Amino acid sequence: MDLLRELLHGEMNSSTVLLYPDEQAIKLAADALRRGKVVAFPTETVYGLGADAFNPAAVTAVFAAKKRPRFDPLIVHIADYAMLEAVAALQALGARTTLDKLIQNLWPGPLTVILPKQPSVPDIVTAGLSTVAVRVPSHPVAQKLIRLSTGAIAAPSANLFGRLSPTRAEHVVQSLNGAADYIIDDGKTGIGLESTVLDLCSCKPCILRPGGTAQEQIEALIGPVLRGYDPQTISSPGQLKNHYAPTKPLHTSSLEQIPYHTDAAYLFFDGKSRESWCAGKPAIAKTLVLSESGSLSEAAANLFVLLHELDAETVPVIYAQLAPEKGLGIAINDRLKRASTQA
């Protein structure tokens, strides 16, 4: 907490107000959203930088704060299913079975669905597309904030465009340097990876971005889905090859192919890999492990925290071991590859 206040006052000569999430503070932040202000808030995935989704000027301020290109649409966060029809034109979707199954089983949670847009959602939110990305976060602070606001918050991650996502309020302070009016601090986020983005407007459901909901979970409910996030076949405006990047060069590979340099920093997937790779090698500048035991959910929760930590080291380069390519490992590898210099 103290560190955060120091950062806030040391690095930012701004009017950003830091809040801790009690009733009164959340009410204050929700009122600010209603007045067109920009509020960084915790969700179970990463910290979001929110504006009232129905207020184009406020949403414009979010794009400006992040230096995010206008062609990259935002996710609209709602508190529950009841608000869905206010932002999505469900009658234009056709059959509802797929959507209903997903909503009943995976909301609230780290799943964003792309649906036909209601005219009430301003074009700036959707980058002029006829579709809108919608999610119901499960984080209690996000839930309360949305309910006390107009009921729909447009929010990308609370970091500069293209940079590492924030999983702690400190990351928000460091990355945005005063561009938010308020930051609600509720510690480290639980999942640590952005939501999975699933397009329900194409002829077959298609994952545009892997994330906190594994493809296997989705397919168990609705059958096989397509993957549109292959770096060769980018189909979502925000699916840029280089994204989520540290300021230092980062290289990813399998354990066997990681090169050895005494002055580099290393990020291993699990404790065993670090042990076997380091065996017999002289001292290395810095090594970190995503999950000692090799748990994919723990690795996901630590990913951005550890990348932030390595990025702050005085090393010229970071090498990261890829995770097993299954479950959340697919999203972890997607972020690592897009953070990497050779992506």
Please give the residue ranges that form the binding site for Mg ion (CB under 5 A).
Answer: 157
CB–CB of 107/137 below 8 Å? no
Chain positions 225 to 284 lying near ligand AMP, rule: CB under 6 A, are: 236-239
Q: What is the nearest approach in angstroms of ligand AMP to the Cβ of residue 209?
A: 5
Q: Which is nearer to ligand AMP, 149 or 236 (CB)?
A: 236
Q: What is the nearest approach in angstroms of ligand AMP to the Cβ of residue 72?
A: 5
Q: Which is nearer to ligand AMP, 206 or 310 (CB)?
A: 206
| By CB under 6 A, residue 335 contacts ligand AMP | no
Tokens encoding 71 = 């062609």
CB–CB of 171/48 below 8 Å? no
Question: Binds 278, which of Mg ion, ligand AMP, none (CB < 5 to 8 A, cut-off by type)?
Answer: none
Q: Which is nearer to ligand AMP, 210 or 277 (CB)?
A: 210
Q: What is the nearest approach in angstroms of ligand AMP to the Cβ of residue 314?
A: 29
Per residue, what are the HEC states of the chain? CHHHHHHHHHHCCCCCEEECCCHHHHHHHHHHHHCCCCEEECCCCCCEEEEECCCHHHHHHHHHHHCCCCCCCCEEEECCHHHHHHHECHHHHCCCHHHHHHHHHHCCCCEEEEEEECCCCCHHHHCCCCEEEEECCCCHHHHHHHHHCCCEEECCECCCCCECCCCCHHHHHHHHCCCCCEEECCCCCCCCCCCEEEECCCCCCEEEECCCCCHHHHHHHHCCCEECCCCCCCCCCCCCCCCCECCCCEEEECHHHCCCCCCCEEEEEEHHHHHHHHCCCCCCCEEEEEECCCCHHHHHHHHHHHHHHHHCCCCCCEEEECCCCCCHHHHHHHHHHHHCCCC
Rounded Cα distance, 63 and 70, in Å: 7
Q: What is the nearest approach in angstroms of ligand AMP to the Cβ of residue 125?
A: 8
Question: Binds 189, which of Mg ion, ligand AMP, none (CB < 5 to 8 A, cut-off by type)?
Answer: none
Chain positions 99 to 118 lying near ligand AMP, rule: CB under 6 A, are: 114
Q: Which is nearer to Mg ion, 28 or 129 (CB)?
A: 129
Answer for which of 36, 72, 123, 341 binds ligand AMP (CB under 6 A) is: 72
Q: What is the nearest approach in angstroms of ligand AMP to the Cβ of residue 49?
A: 9
Q: Which is nearer to Mg ion, 52 or 194 (CB)?
A: 194
Q: What is the nearest approach in angstroms of Mg ion to the Cβ of residue 281?
A: 35
Residue nearest to Mg ion (CB): 157
| By CB under 6 A, residue 209 contacts ligand AMP | yes
Q: What is the nearest approach in angstroms of Mg ion to the Cβ of residue 334?
A: 13
Expressed in angstroms, the distance from the first to the final Cα of the chain is 36
| By CB under 6 A, residue 301 contacts ligand AMP | no
Chain positions 113 to 172 lying near ligand AMP, rule: CB under 6 A, are: 114, 126, 129, 131-133, 156-157
Taking CB under 6 A as the rule, which mask of x and - marks residues 168-207 in contact with ligand AMP? --------------------------x--x----------
Question: Binds 309, which of Mg ion, ligand AMP, none (CB < 5 to 8 A, cut-off by type)?
Answer: none
Q: Which is nearer to ligand AMP, 98 or 239 (CB)?
A: 239
Q: Which is nearer to ligand AMP, 25 or 113 (CB)?
A: 113
Question: Binds 305, which of ligand AMP, Mg ion, none (CB < 5 to 8 A, cut-off by type)?
Answer: none
Provide CB contacts within 8 A for 135, sequence distance 6+. 75, 76, 77, 78, 107, 110, 111, 112, 113, 195
In the complex, the residues that contact ligand AMP under the rule CB under 6 A are 72-75, 114, 126, 129, 131-133, 156-157, 194, 197, 208-209, 236-239
